[in-house]
Amino acid sequence: MKKTCQTPSDIQKERPFVLVKAFTISSLIVMLTATIIIAALNAHWVRNLLLEKSKEYNSLLVENLNHQIFLRFVAPVAFKYGEIKLREAEQHRLLDAVITSTLHSFHVEMVNIYGTDNIIGYSFDKEQIGKKNAGGVLYEKAMQKKTSSKLIQKGSFLELLFWFPEETKIVTFAPLVQEMQLYRSEEKTVIGVIEIVRDISHDYQQVFKLQGLIVASCAAVMGILFIVLRFVVKHGEKIIKSRAEERLRLEEKLRQAEHLSAIGEMTAGVSHEIRNPLGIIKSSAQLMKKKMIKLDASSNIPDIIIEESQRLNNIITDFLNFARPRQADLRPCHIHDVIEKNLSFLEPQIQTQKIKINKAYHSNLPSISADPDMLYQAFLNILLNCFQAVGKNGTVTISTWFHTRTVSISFTDNGPGIEKNMLKKIWTPFFTTKDTGTGLGLGIVKNIIEAHNGKIHISNAAPSGAVVDIELPI
């Protein structure tokens, strides 16, 4: 399995992104945790407040019930019968009527009245009447004139864990006192204990719904903030990444420009030094040819020297054109005229190789400001490459069109195309796949197009062949 190695620059570029992403995720976790804690504390506070209000509410109910029992039951029964006996049906019915009418619509689930002997004398549940020692600790406190309450919750483990019990009841024990005393200084006498059981499950469910609403609302807000933050981070990441890539491209171009500059200076110097003795060699060979005609007319040595000197001179000319591209002499120019001039010059080679030239010219192509001689040289190099690629019986298509601000020229051949690993190297100076040549032809073409503020792009055509696309400003 192949492992990819990251350079220090790659790691340095990725580090800010990792830190930003980690900060985003940790911020979301912290915000959500804080939201849940705040919601839990708020719900706990509301529950405690609800419990206190329920205790106060039960105390008021007991106080009112105590008043109604003494006023409407104890006093009349004591006056009529002389003593209170709840076992008698008439007295039990009267007490039940008083309690029922007093607690009507107050959602009281159970009422128990204990005697001073801790025996239930009255209850909504008939089976509880007569039960002994059922009051417990709260009963003892009530006998000491202290009102106290407790909370009873029923439900599963998870319901109790998340404070959402299936059933919640509040139980209040309060003393039943004799309101009328014989003497003002005499303390009120405890004549029994009242136990009230009230179901507050609905109130607790409302609290839980409030808690859920708070958590959901905060989570929604945090989620929106997280999405916005992630969007900002992603956008910033793209900007940073694009700037880093642009910086790398510029650095690469700068290094390449420095490299080419050094090569150009060296090439220009060497070419200049070679051209002078080369001219002497060529002129001497021509002079020797004239003398050799008199001595040995069949000798072709002078011709070989002259031919090779001319080829070497062409190579040096390519070096100089690449190293020191001349300034474009801009004047009105029509692209079709330049292309036709190229095709006229290459007509013998077209006939020899039997190459088919397809022309897809735009009928109203506008003129541009350009140097016709430089464009002629650029198009000539491109067409020669196309002819070499297609060989005999090949096809080359030349297309022209224009947009608002640019004129486009496309040269397409049906040759074998360019290997993918070679596409990135075609602009490298001295790189060539041919047996002959300097590898500077495309570099010269690129310099000419860029001297006109244009663009050039080379790619493979479908199903085969190569395409050279050129854009020149109008």
CATH code, domain carrying 153: 3.30.450.20
Which of residues 131, 165, 199 is at a domain's end? 199
Give per-residue pLDDT as tens, 129-186: 888 888 888 889 888 888 888 888 887 766 666 556 778 888 899 998 877 654 454 5
Tell whether 231 is covered by a domain: no
* Amino acid at site 24: T
Alpha-carbon distance values, 400 to 8, 360, 465, 471 (Å): 47, 6, 18, 10
Q: To 5 degrees, how large is the angle CA 396–CA 401–CA 406? A: 125
State how far the Cα of 464 lies from the Cα of 395, in Å rounded to an integer. 11
Tell whether 402 is covered by a domain: yes
End-to-end CA distance of the chain: 53
The model's pTM: 0.43
Which of residues 158, 181, 199 is at a domain's end? 199
CATH number at residue 382: 3.30.565.10
Tell whether 259 is covered by a domain: no
Tell whether 66 is covered by a domain: yes
Q: Which domain holds residue 105?
A: 9-199
Tell whether 458 is covered by a domain: yes
Number of domains in the chain: 2
Which of residues 167, 199, 231 is at a domain's end? 199
Do 219 and 35 contact (CB within 8 A), yes or no? yes
Do 376 and 341 contact (CB within 8 A), yes or no? yes
Tell whether 469 is covered by a domain: yes
Tell whether 230 is covered by a domain: no
Give per-residue pLDDT as tens, 362-401: 888 998 999 898 899 889 989 988 898 888 889 999 999 9
State what percent of residues in the chain have pLDDT above 90: 10
Which residues touch 133 (CB under 8 Å, ≥6 apart)?
118
165 and 29 belong to one structural domain: yes
